[in-house]
Amino acid sequence: MELNRQTAHELLDLLKNKKTTPEAILDSVHKQIQKSDKDVKAYVRLNQNKVDPKTANSRSVPIPIGIKDNMCILDEETTCSSRILKGFKAPYDATVIEKLKKSGAILIGNTNMDEFAMGSSTENSCYGATHNPWKLDCVPGGSSGGSAAAVAASEAIWAIGSDTGGSIRQPASFCGVVGLKPTYGRVSRYGLIAFASSLDQIGPITKDVTDSALLLNVIAGYDERDSTSVNAPVPDYRQALKNNVKGLKIGIPKEYFVQGLHPEVKNAVMAAIEALKNKGATFKKVSLPHTEYGIATYYITATSEASSNLARYDGVQYGIRELPKKTRKSPLLDMYDETRHVGFGAEVKRRIMLGTYSLSSGYYDAYYLKGLKVRTLIKNDFDKLFSEFDALIGPTSPTTAFKIGDKVNDPLSMYLSDIYTVSANLSGIPAISVPCGFSKERLPIGLQIMAKPFAEEMLFRIAYTYEQNTDWHKQSVNL
C-alpha cells in the first residue's frame, strides 16, 4: 500500500487501528516528492518537519499538508512567490496555521502560486511554473496551482489554498481534485497575505469530498483578529456527508452554457446533472442576468484592492531593497521605484496599474464605484435564486487545462478562465469543484456547485452524493 496515495480519512482509520504510523505516512509523502516534484514543481520550499513521538498519539489529525506560499508560518519564509518578499520570515502564525498545528497536522512545505495570487495558471511565479501532473506540458490552474498539483500528484495528502476569483476551484478542476471556497467570513483571513481583501478566502484542496469536510472542520471558525470573520456556529461538516439528494431543487444557470464552453466540458457537466437527477434531485434552468458583467466587475474590484494592498511593499519595512545606480528623483523615491521594478513581476505590475487607474481622481466614479454597484446586482441575482433553489450547478471552468505558455501573452484570454468562478467571490457565497470526467486528452473536468452563504453542508451533501455514485475521484496520476 502506498500511503501517500490514500485519502486523509483512510489514513486516519489506519492510524486508529494501528496499521500505520504518522512517521510512515510522512516518509511516503517525502519519497513521492523526491520522485516526482522535479517534474511537477509543486513546492517552492520544504519544511524539515518530523513527527514528535511524544505527542503523536494525542494528535487528532497527524496528516501531511501543503500550504500555499501566501500564509504566514512563524519563523518560516513566506514570499507569495514574489521576488519582493524574498527572505521575509513571518513573525507570527496565520490563524489557519495555528488551527492546523493544534490539530497535529504536519506542514510539509510551501506550494507554488501565481505571484501574490494574481493569475489563473501558476506561471506568474518568481520560482517558475508548476506543471499539471496529468499532463506535464499543461498548467495546473491558478493561483493555487501548486497546492492542487501537490494533491493530484500525491505529494501531499491534502493542501490549503486561497480563492480570490476561483483560485482554489479552477486548479482543482484542472488537476482532478476537490476544491472548496467557503463562505466569505467562515475561515479567518488573519495571516493571509492579501491580494483583494473583500474577495480572498482560504479553503481546502483534497482528494475527495470527505477530506474536504474534515479539513474545513479544522480551519473554520470565528477569529476576533479578523474584522471580516463571522461569529457564527460551525457545524460538524462530516454530518452532511449523506448519499441523498432526493427532493433537492437545483438551478442550472443558462449563462454558464453559452459560446466558449468546450463541448467536452459541457457533456461531462450534463452527465453529472443526469446522475444527480437519477438520485432524486430536481433541476430547472435559471438565469443569473448579470453574469456577463462578472469578469469586468471582478477585475475592477480586485485590481483596485490590490493597488491599495501592495502599496506597502516599498523596500522599507520587509522584503528586498534595491538601490538605484543613479539618482533620478530623490534617493527615497528612486529606492521605491527600483525595489518595485525589480521585485514585482509583469502581471502584478499590470494589475497594480489597472487598480491605481480605477481609483484615481476622475475615474473612481466611472470604474470602481460603478463596479461596486454591479457587484451588488450580481449578489442580488444569487439571493433571488437561493430563495427558491437549494443550490446552483454548472462547469467550474470553460475548458480543461491549457498548455504552458499558451495564454501568457494574452491576458484577456487568461482572465476569461475565471468566468464561472468570480461571481461566487463577488457574492461571498460558498462553492465547490469536484471531478466529473476527463477530456479525450485525459485532462480532468470539474463540476461546480454553489449554495447560499454558510450552506457548506448543502454543498457537501450534493457533492458527496455525486461522488459516491461515480468514480472520477478515484482516478489518480501515476507519477
For residue 75, the model assigns a pLDDT of 95
Alpha carbon distance 472, 13 (integer Å): 22
Report the DSSP beta bridge partners of residue 206.
Answer: 178
Q: What is the three-class DSSP state of 374?
A: helix
Q: 299 vs 201, 303, 361, 379, 457, CA distance in Å? A: 17, 6, 19, 16, 30
Pick the CATH number of 3-250+392-474 from 1.20.1630.10, 3.10.180.10, 3.90.1300.10, 3.40.50.970: 3.90.1300.10
Q: Is 292 exposed, middle or buried (0-12, 13-18, 19+ CB in 10 A)?
A: exposed
- Determine which helix (DSSP H) or strand (DSSP E) holds 449, and give its type and residue range: strand 444-450
Print burial letters for 360-386: b (CB count within 10 Å at least 16), e (below 16): eeeeeeebbebbeebbeebbebbeebb
For residue 59, the model assigns a pLDDT of 57
Alpha carbon distance 471, 456 (integer Å): 22
Alpha carbon distance 168, 252 (integer Å): 22
DSSP state of 441: T
Q: What is the three-class DSSP state of 167?
A: coil
Q: What is the three-class DSSP state of 478?
A: coil
For residue 216, the model assigns a pLDDT of 98
Q: 338 vs 79, 315, 346, 356, CA distance in Å? A: 19, 9, 14, 18
Q: Which residues are catalytic?
A: 68, 143, 167
Alpha carbon distance 283, 253 (integer Å): 10
State pTM to two decimals: 0.96
- Determine which helix (DSSP H) or strand (DSSP E) holds 24, and give its type and residue range: helix 22-40
Q: Domain coordinates of the chain in residue numbers?
A: 3-250+392-474, 292-373
Put the strands of the sheet holding 282-286 in their side by side order: 43-46, 106-111, 64-68, 158-163, 201-206, 178-181, 431-438, 444-450, 391-395, 249-253, 282-286
Q: Assess contact for 64 and 108: CB atoms under 8 A.
A: yes
Q: 288 vs 183, 193, 382, 430, CA distance in Å? A: 19, 32, 7, 16
Q: Assess contact for 367 and 418: CB atoms under 8 A.
A: no
DSSP state of 365: I
* Tens-digit pLDDT string for the chain (479 aa): 899 999 999 999 999 999 999 999 999 999 999 999 999 999 999 987 767 665 555 558 999 999 999 999 999 999 999 999 999 999 999 999 999 999 999 999 999 999 999 999 999 999 999 999 999 999 999 999 999 999 999 999 999 999 999 999 999 999 999 999 999 999 999 999 999 999 999 999 999 999 999 999 999 999 999 999 999 999 999 999 999 999 999 999 999 999 999 999 999 999 999 999 999 999 999 999 999 999 999 999 999 999 999 999 999 988 899 998 887 778 899 999 999 999 999 999 999 999 999 999 889 999 999 999 999 999 999 999 999 999 999 999 999 999 999 998 888 889 888 999 999 999 999 999 999 999 999 999 999 999 999 999 999 999 999 999 999 999 999 88
- Specify the length of the chain in residues: 479
For residue 69, the model assigns a pLDDT of 98
For residue 210, the model assigns a pLDDT of 98
Alpha carbon distance 291, 397 (integer Å): 14
Set of cell numbers at residue 271: 452527465
Q: Assess contact for 398 and 419: CB atoms under 8 A.
A: yes
